Amino acid sequence: MFVTSKGEIEGAKPIWFVTPETFQKTCAALEAPARAFIAAAGFEPKAGRHLILPGMSQAGVLFALEGGKEPKDPFLPGRLTELLPAGTYRFANAPHDLRLGALAFALSAYRFGRYRKADEKQIKLALPEGIDGAELSRTVEAVALARDLINTPANDMGPAELEQAAVALAKRHGASTRVVVGEELLTENFPLIHAVGRAAAKPPRLIEMRWGDTKHPKVTLVGKGVCFDTGGLDIKPSSGMLNMKKDMGGAACVLALAHMVMDRKLKISLRVLIPAVENSISGDAFRPLDVYRSRKGLSVEIGNTDAEGRLILADALTLACEESPDLLIDMGTLTGAARVALGPDLPPFYTDDDHLAAEVARCAAAENDPLWRLPLWRRYDSMLDSKTADLNNVSNNAFAGSIICALFLNRFVPAKQWLHFDIYAWTPSAKPGRPEGGECQASRALYALLTARYG
């Protein structure tokens, strides 16, 4: 995607970024034939428009950005990969954010080509001066990893295949892995993971990865790995089930974050936990109003079998807390309520630590990886009350679904340094830097957070 050789950079076609404020000045610096062509084309610097300047000594591209100092989307330069013909290009001047502009260019070029021939248009960008190419490539590779995992359908991305992806990543970085499968989950006290996944033909499992010096601060990542979600006996309608191959998006984004951490060799002791299951229907499926005792010892009544992600995360989070990590992060595609509240592009996150929340918000803004804090509103805790168990896995009403899920998980997490992300992991329609399909959410912001802390 990025070229760094002197010859390729010298031969790259220039891209001039213009805004309504800079259009005239930028054009005035071009040669007369280029200015004449721009005038004849009637080009107006409206955001997202482009003009190819052909067949002249300054052959290149004009691309219009939003005016003002704070653009709505610093990824707008990513549109160029769709608009431009094959070739090598360079930024002749800087967009609003040079690093994010280059990142968006690369992220927009992603194609999922496992099952059919992908677009073969070769479009490359000369690495802008002053930008860390290794860091940029690391991020692009991590995002592509998450997208590939999420886009792969469940017949090729079940619990076993998700395990294989995690093991392959671990081998690449010299990490160790341990996997607990099937009935071993009961022997080793992971009853909620077993209950959710036992009905599927592919047995459930808990995947564990460890990397780094144990003397360094302990950071644990937990990712929801529901490889397909029928909803269980509280079955989803066909429209709700259609995209459930992405229900392992939390696991995919955790693996993307783990790749960046390990490749950068951050000074942390990293632990990754992925409960991987399919929420299927068979004679052995868990049922509404069943009661299971969790790893923590709390009994949980099943108010709805379609609220399965929080169940498998509960056992994994309990295991994580047994080592008292310095920072605990979990991610999962958990509630439709989060999408109703904030839409597909803006995942909510939860924490009790105001300073940590401010760090996350700062990193999310800097990385254009949008996140928004919602409250762990404990006045809603009573909505999880059960008459027969310590708690229910859902509330008795339709209000505050994402907050209720966070409060449920919080029952299993005594640590204050805890971050919970209710992600969507999908882009419904293509945007600059974000092709339609599986999406890596929150990982880039969290990588920036971890780099700032432990880099």
Catalytic residues: 236, 310
For residues 277 and 268, give the distance between their C-alpha atoms in angstroms, rounded to a whole number: 28
Q: Which two tokens stand for residue 238?
A: 């066909």
- Hey, is 360 helix, strand or coil? helix
DSSP state of 275: E
Pairing of strands 2-3, 123-126: parallel
Burial of residue 267 (CB within 10 Å: 0-12, 13-18, 19+) is middle
Q: Which two tokens stand for residue 420?
A: 């919970």
Residue 297 near residue 272 (C-beta atoms within 8 A): no
Burial of residue 382 (CB within 10 Å: 0-12, 13-18, 19+) is exposed
Q: How many CA within 13 A on the CB side of residue 295?
A: 25
C-alpha torsion angle, residues 434, 438, 442, 447 (rounded to 10): -90
| Nearest one of 192, 201, 190, 191 to 154, comparing CA atoms | 201
